[in-house]
Amino acid sequence: MSTEINAVREMLQSVEKVAVFTGAGMSAESGIPTFRGDGGLWRGRKPEEWATPEAFMQSPEEVREFYQWRRGIVEEAQPHAGHLALGNWSSGDSHHVEVVTQNVDGLHQRSGCSRVWELHGSLWSQHCHDCGTPESDLEKTHCPCGGRLRPSVVWFGEGLPSEVWAESERVMRESELVLVIGTSAVVYPAAGLVGMAAGAGIPVVEINPQPALDSQTVCITGTAAQVIPILLE
C-alpha cells in the first residue's frame, strides 16, 4: 500500500485541480452503513424496488420512518480522520479541491469541505412529492397543498438535480486528477462521471478496501479513514 501512496503523493505534487468523487464507503467508518455488501443498508432487500417513487406512493409512512431512522444514525455520527483530513486539505492553499458525492449525509460539509456537489440530494431537506415546494421542518409530513413531503434524495428512475449534475461534470472535466473513494460504481449516471474522466485521460486514483473500478490508474487497497490522512499529511 505504501508504494501506491507514495506514487499518488508524487502525482498530487504536479497538479492543482483535484476532483474527489465519493460513495457510501467514505462514511462507513463513521458508523453509517453502506448500501450493498455485508452489513449494507439494503441487505436482503432489492434497492431498485424499494428506493423508488413508486415505493413511496405505496408505503409513505414506512419510507418516512426509514429516513427518520437514517437521520438519527447520521446525527449521532462524527466525521472520521479521513473526512477531517480531506476537509483540512480542501480549505488549504495547495490545491483547488471540489467534492462530488453520491452521499446524502452531509459529512463532507461537517468536516470543512466547502465545495461539495451532492448528486443524490440530501437527507437534511425535504419537498412536496406533488408540487415540489421545499419544506425546512423535517417533522412535517404534509405540504400546505395537501401533498406528501418526501426526503430530497434521488430515487431510482428519478433525474439528478440538473445544476448539480452540470457542476459535477465541470468539476470532473476540469480536474487534473480524480480521487474515487468508497463507491461500488454501479449506480448511473453518477458512476459514468468516473468513466468520463478516465476516458479523457485524467488520472483516476481509487481508494477502496474492495476495489470496484476497472478504469483506475492507481488503486490503493485500504479504507478511507486509514488511507486519506496518510495520503494528505
186 lies in the site for ligand BJW, by CB under 6 A: yes
User: Which span sits near ligand BJW by CB under 6 A: 8-16, 46-54, 110-118, 130-138?
Assistant: 46-54
Sheet arrangement for strand 149-153: 134-135, 121-128, 149-153
* Closer CB to ligand BJW, 12 or 28, in the complex: 28
CB of 207 to ligand BJW, least distance (A): 6
Respond yes or no: is residue 95 known to be catalytic.
no
CB of 123 to ligand BJW, least distance (A): 7
SS (H, E, C) the chain: CHHHHHHHHHHHHCCCEEEEEECCHHHHCCCCCCCCCCCCCCCCCCHHHHCCHHHHHHCHHHHHHHHHHHHHHHHHCCCCHHHHHHHHHHCCCCCEEEEEECCCCCHHHHCCCCCEEECCEEEEEEEECCCCCEECCCCCCECCCCCEEEEEECCCCCCCCHHHHHHHHHHHHHCCEEEEECCCCCCCCCCHHHHHHHHCCCCEEEECCCCCCCCCCEEECCCHHHHHHHHHC
Q: Closest CB to ligand BJW belongs to which residue?
A: 25
Catalytic residue (choose from 120, 127, 129, 142): 120
180 lies in the site for ligand BJW, by CB under 6 A: no
14 lies in the site for ligand BJW, by CB under 6 A: no
120 lies in the site for ligand BJW, by CB under 6 A: yes
Count of chain residues binding ligand BJW (CB under 6 A): 36
223 lies in the site for ligand BJW, by CB under 6 A: yes
Dig out the grid coordinates for 75 from the structure: 446525527
Backbone angles phi, psi at 170, to 5 degrees: -60, -50
CB of 6 to ligand BJW, least distance (A): 20
Which member of 40, 53, 112, 203 binds ligand BJW (CB under 6 A)? 40
224 lies in the site for ligand BJW, by CB under 6 A: yes
CB of 67 to ligand BJW, least distance (A): 7
CB of 93 to ligand BJW, least distance (A): 27
Q: Which residue in 110, 111, 98, 231 sits closest to 172, CA to CA?
A: 98
182 lies in the site for ligand BJW, by CB under 6 A: yes
| Footprint of ligand BJW (CB under 6 A) | 23-25, 28-29, 34-36, 40, 47-48, 51, 102, 104, 120, 153-159, 181-184, 186-189, 208-210, 212, 223-224
Catalytic residues, by residue number, are 120
